[in-house]
C-alpha cells in the first residue's frame, strides 16, 4: 500500500488568499451582508451615543436641578425616553444582525460541507490511500467548526470591534483631546501583556492539542485491543504508558488553561488601573478647568472603559481567525485535489436485437448489453455487442512510480470464463482487479475490454459493468434490505430475496430479529465476518453485472457454504466473466484459467489440471502439506 502522510499545519500559509476565497462564499449574499453591516454600525453608534448622552444628562439635565425647590423633570423625562428609544433601536439591530448572520453562517457551512463531500466523492482511490480517515474526518468536524465560529462570530465581531474602537476614539477626542492622549500612552502596556500571554498560550495550546491526540489515540488503540491486552496480561504495562501520556496532557493542559483564564482578570484589572489613573488625572484636570465638566469626565471614563474592551476582543479574535484560516486552508486543499480523470466516451447500454438481428438500445434489462460508440466525425452512433473479453497488454503499475508492483502483466479472459488469481499476500492480486475498474491508472501498457481501451469507456459505465465483492466487507447503516439494494437501487423486494438466496444469506437473514428489516449499524458490527461477506455477495448478485470480481469474498465463509454459493453464482454468471482472488485453493480450483502471481509477475498460468501437471509453484502451494510432511 502507498505511504500515508499527514501533516496538519497549524498556521495558514496564505492568509489573504484564504480569507478572500472564504469570503467568496458570501458573495451571493450581498444584500444580507449589507443588512448585517448596517446593523453593526447602528449597534456601535447606539452604544456610543448612549454613553455620550450620560454626559449631557448629568451636566444639563440633572446637575442644574440640584438644590432647586420644585425641580422640573419633564426635560429629563424626554431625554430618558429618547435614550430608551435609541437603546431599543440598538437591541433590534443586534437581533437582526444575529439572525441574519446565523442564517448566513449555517447556510454557508452547509454549502461548504456539501461541496467538500461532493468533491471527495470524485477523488481517486489514491487520495484515500494517502489520507487517514481521522484526517479527513477532521475536515468535517474540527475544521468546519472553526469556520463556523469565524463566520458567525469572529467576522462580525472583528467588524464591530474595529468600528467601536473608531467611534469610541472619536468620542474620546471630542470629550477631551488631552485625556485621550494620556489614555493612548497607557495602551502599549495592554498590548505587551496580550502579546506575551497570547503567544505563550498559543504554544501551550498546541502542546495540549498534541497531548490530547496522544492520549485519545492511545485510549482508542488500547480499548480496541483490550481483549488482546487481557490475553497477554498486559494491563499494568498499558496503564503505565497511559499514565505517562496522561501526565503530559495534564501538564500542558494546566499551563494552557492557566494562561487562557488568566488573561481575563489581567485585562480587567489593567483596565481598572487605567481607569483609576484617568479618574485621578481627569479629576485634577476638571479642577484646573482643562476638562470642561464632571459630566465630561464621567462620560470620558465610561468611554475609556469601552475603549480597552474592543482591543482585548480584537486580540482574542486574531488567534481564532488564524485557526479558522488554517482550517479553511485544509478544507480548500481537499477541494483543490484533482478529481478522477474520465475522458471516456464509450457507453455501456442495455440492448436487444431487432428483427434484422441488429442491436438497438433499450431501457430495460435484457441480459444483453452493447457498447455505444459515438463518432465525433459524423455524429453517428454504432453499437457493438458486449462480450466480456478482458485483455491486459504489458501492464506496468506501481502505487508510487518508484515502486513497481505489477511488472509487465499480460493476460486475457474470454467471455464466460472464470479467471483466478493465486499467490501470496502482496503478490499483486488485488492490484490487478483494481486496475480493471480503473481505481488506479496504469503506468504503462493497456487494458482492453471487448477490444476497447478502458480509458475510452465512461468511468461509471465501466464500473457499473463490474460487480465487486471486496476483501474488506463494508456495510452501511440501514436495514439488511437496504444494504443488498445498494447493488441495484431500484431492486424489488423479490429481487433482493432472490439475490440473498443465491448468496446463501437468506437463511441467516430470516433468523435475524427483524429479518430483512434488521438494522445494521456500525459497519454491521452485529454480524459475524462470514455473514457480512454473505450480504456483500448478495449485494453484488442483485446488481447482476456482466463481469464479477470476487476478491477474497468467501475467506470467512466455511467451505460447505462456499460450495453452495458457488453453485448459485455459476448459474447467475453463466456466459459472463468472473475474476476470483483467493488464497484458499478450493475456491479457485474450478476456474478456466488460474494465474499464479509472485512479486507482481505472473509465473504460471493454466487450469487446475495443467498447473498440477506442471509441478510448479501452484503444485507446491496445493500440495504443500505432502511436500513438507
Partner 1 sequence: MPFSYEGVVYLRRLFRFAGKYKIYLILAPLMVIGEVAMETYIPQLIARLVNLINEAEQTPLEMREILLLGGQMILMSILSLAFGAGAARMASIGAMGFSKNLRHGLFEKAQSFSFKNIDKFSTASLVTRLTTDVNQVQNMLMMLIRMAVRSPIMFVMAFFWAWRMNPSLITILLVAVPLLFTGLGVIIKLAFPRFKVMMEKYDALNGSVQENLIAIRVVKAFVRESFEKSKFARSADDLMNAQRRAEKVVILNGPLMQILMNGCIVAVIWFGGRQIARGDMNLGDLTSFITYITQILMSLMILSFIFVSYVLSKASVARINEVLDEQPDIVSPEQSVQSVPDGSIVFDHVSFSYTGSKEREVLKDISFSIRSGETIGLIGATGSAKSTLVSLIPRLYDVTEGKVLVGGNDVRQYDTAVLRDAVSVVLQKNVLFSGSIAENLRWGNENATQEEIEAACKVAQADEFVKAFPDGYQMDLGQGGVNVSGGQKQRLCIARALLKKPKVMILDDATSAVDTATDARIREALRDQMPETTKIIIAQRITSVQDADRIIVLDEGKISDIGTHEELLERSEIYREVYHSQQKGADD
According to CB under 8 A, which residues from 243 to 272 bind partner 1?
243, 246-247, 249-250, 253-255, 257-258, 261-262, 264-266, 268-270, 272
Is 217 an interacting residue with respect to partner 1 (CB under 8 A)? yes
Q: CA torsion, points 65, 71, 76, 78, in degrees to nearest 10?
A: -150
Q: Report which DSSP code applies to 345.
A: -
Among 182, 563, 599, 616, binds partner 1 (CB under 8 A): 563
Residue 439 to residue 240: CA distance in whole angstroms? 44
And the C-alpha cell for 610? 495443467
Q: Which is nearer to partner 1, 12 or 90 (CB)?
A: 90
Q: Which is nearer to partner 1, 184 or 264 (CB)?
A: 264
Site for partner 1 in 335-374 (CB under 8 A): none
Site for partner 1 in 273-302 (CB under 8 A): 273, 275-277, 279-280, 282-284, 286-287, 294, 297-298, 301-302
Is 476 an interacting residue with respect to partner 1 (CB under 8 A)? yes
Site for partner 1 in 433-452 (CB under 8 A): 437, 439
Q: Which is nearer to partner 1, 19 or 619 (CB)?
A: 619
Is 394 an interacting residue with respect to partner 1 (CB under 8 A)? no
- Residue 497 Cβ, how far from partner 1 at the closest point, in Å? 19
CB 441 within 8 A of CB 600: no
CB 536 within 8 A of CB 468: no
Q: Which is nearer to partner 1, 15 or 294 (CB)?
A: 294
Site for partner 1 in 573-602 (CB under 8 A): 583-586, 589-590
Residue 454 to residue 212: CA distance in whole angstroms? 47
Is 568 an interacting residue with respect to partner 1 (CB under 8 A)? no
Residue 155 to residue 163: CA distance in whole angstroms? 12
The gap between the terminal CA atoms of the chain, to the nearest Å, is 35
Convert residues 497-536 into a mask of x (bound to partner 1 by CB under 8 A) and - (unbound): -----------x-------------xx-x--x-xx-----
3-class DSSP state for residue 348?
A: strand
CB 438 within 8 A of CB 454: yes
Is 31 an interacting residue with respect to partner 1 (CB under 8 A)? no
- Residue 150 Cβ, how far from partner 1 at the closest point, in Å? 16
Tracing cell 461532493 back to the chain, one arrives at 118
- Residue 586 Cβ, how far from partner 1 at the closest point, in Å? 4
Among 39, 470, 553, 594, binds partner 1 (CB under 8 A): 470
- Residue 379 Cβ, how far from partner 1 at the closest point, in Å? 27
- List CB contacts of 489: < 8 A, sequence separation 6 or more: none
CB 619 within 8 A of CB 604: no
Stretch in the footprint of partner 1 (CB under 8 A) among 21-29, 158-166, 413-421, 458-466: 458-466
Angular region, 408: left φ>0, alpha ψ -120 to 50, beta rest: left
Q: E strand or H helix at 396, and its extent? A: strand 390-397
Residue 215 to residue 2: CA distance in whole angstroms? 27
Amino acid at each position: 500500500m502507498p505511504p500515508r502522510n499527514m501533516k496538519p499545519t497549524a498556521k495558514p500559509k496564505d492568509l489573504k488568499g484564504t480569507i478572500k476565497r472564504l469570503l467568496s462564499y458570501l458573495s451571493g449574499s450581498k444584500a444580507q451582508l449589507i443588512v448585517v453591516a448596517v446593523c453593526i454600525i447602528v449597534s456601535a453608534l447606539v452604544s456610543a451615543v448612549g454613553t455620550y448622552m450620560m454626559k449631557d444628562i448629568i451636566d444639563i439635565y440633572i446637575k442644574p436641578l440640584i438644590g432647586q425647590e420644585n425641580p422640573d423633570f419633564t426635560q429629563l423625562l424626554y431625554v430618558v425616553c429618547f435614550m430608551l428609544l435609541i437603546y431599543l433601536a440598538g437591541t433590534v439591530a443586534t437581533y437582526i444582525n444575529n439572525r441574519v448572520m446565523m442564517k448566513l453562517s449555517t447556510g454557508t457551512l452547509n454549502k461548504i460541507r456539501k461541496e467538500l463531500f461532493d468533491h471527495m466523492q470524485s477523488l481517486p482511490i489514491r487520495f484515500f490511500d494517502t489520507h487517514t480517515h481521522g484526517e479527513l474526518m477532521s475536515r468535517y468536524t474540527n475544521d468546519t467548526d472553526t469556520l463556523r465560529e469565524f463566520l458567525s462570530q469572529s467576522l462580525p465581531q472583528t467588524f464591530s470591534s474595529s468600528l467601536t474602537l473608531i467611534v469610541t476614539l472619536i468620542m474620546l477626542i471630542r470629550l477631551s483631546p488631552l485625556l485621550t492622549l494620556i489614555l493612548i500612552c497607557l495602551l502599549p502596556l495592554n498590548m505587551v501583556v496580550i502579546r506575551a500571554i497570547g503567544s505563550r498560550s498559543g504554544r501551550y495550546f498546541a502542546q495540549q492539542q498534541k497531548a490530547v491526540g496522544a492520549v485519545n489515540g492511545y485510549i482508542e488503540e488500547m480499548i480496541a485491543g483490550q481483549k488482546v491486552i487481557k490475553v497477554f496480561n498486559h494491563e499494568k504495562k498499558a496503564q503505565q504508558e497511559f499514565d505517562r501520556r496522561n501526565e503530559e496532557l495534564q501538564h500542558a493542559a494546566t499551563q494552557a488553561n492557566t494562561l487562557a483564564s488568566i488573561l481575563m482578570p489581567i485585562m480587567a484589572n489593567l483596565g481598572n488601573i487605567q481607569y483609576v489613573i484617568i479618574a485621578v488625572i481627569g479629576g485634577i484636570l476638571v479642577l484646573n478647568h482643562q476638562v470642561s465638566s464632571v459630566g465630561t469626565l464621567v462620560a470620558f471614563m465610561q468611554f475609556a472603559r469601552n475603549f480597552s474592551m474592543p482591543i482585548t476582543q480584537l486580540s482574542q479574535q486574531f488567534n481564532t481567525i488564524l485557526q479558522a484560516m488554517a482550517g479553511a486552508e485544509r478544507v480548500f486543499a481537499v477541494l483543490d485535489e484533482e478529481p478522477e480523470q474520465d475522458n471516456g466516451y464509450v457507453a455501456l447500454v442495455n440492448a436487444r436485437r431487432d428483427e434484422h438481428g441488429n442491436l438497438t438500445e433499450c431501457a430495460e434489462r435484457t441480459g444483453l448489453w452493447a457498447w455505444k460508440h459515438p463518432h465525433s466525425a459524423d455524429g453517428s452512433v454504432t453499437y457493438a455487442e458486449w462480450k466480456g473479453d478482458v485483455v491486459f497488454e504489458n501492464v506496468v503499475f506501481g502505487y508510487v512510480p518508484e515502486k513497481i508492483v505489477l511488472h509487465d502483466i499480460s493476460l486475457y479472459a474470454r467471455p464466460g470464463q472464470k479467471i483466478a488469481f493465486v499467490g501470496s499476500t502482496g503478490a499483486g492480486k488485488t492490484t490487478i482487479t483494481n486496475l480493471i475498474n480503473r481505481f488506479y491508472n496504469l503506468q504503462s501498457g493497456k487494458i482492453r475490454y471487448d477490444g476497447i481501451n478502458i480509458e475510452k469507456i465512461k468511468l461509471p459505465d465501466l464500473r457499473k459493468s463490474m460487480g465487486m465483492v471486496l476483501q474488506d466487507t463494508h456495510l452501511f447503516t440501514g436495514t439488511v434490505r437496504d444494504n443488498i439494494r445498494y447493488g441495484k437501487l431500484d431492486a424489488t423486494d423479490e429481487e433482493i430475496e432472490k439475490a440473498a438466496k443465491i448468496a446463501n444469506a437468506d437463511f441467516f437473514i430470516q433468523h435475524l430479529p427483524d429479518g430483512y428489516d434488521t438494522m445494521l449499524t456500525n459497519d454491521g458490527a452485529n454480524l459475524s465476518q462470514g455473514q457480512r461477506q454473505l450480504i456483500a455477495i448478495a449485494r453484488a448478485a442483485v446488481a447482476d453485472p456482466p463481469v464479477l470480481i470476487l476478491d477474497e469474498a468467501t475467506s470467512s465463509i466455511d467451505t460447505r457454504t462456499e460450495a453452495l454459493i458457488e453453485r448459485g453464482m455459476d448459474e447467475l454468471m453463466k456466459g459472463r466473466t468472473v475474476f476470483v482472488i483467493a488464497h484458499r485453493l478450493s475456491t479457485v480450483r474450478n476456474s478456466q484459467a488460474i494465474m499464479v502471481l509472485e512479486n507482481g509477475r505472473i509465473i504460471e498460468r493454466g487450469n487446475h489440471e495443467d498447473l498440477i501437471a506442471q509441478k510448479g509453484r501452484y503444485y507446491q502451494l496445493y500440495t504443500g502439506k505432502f511436500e513438507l510432511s
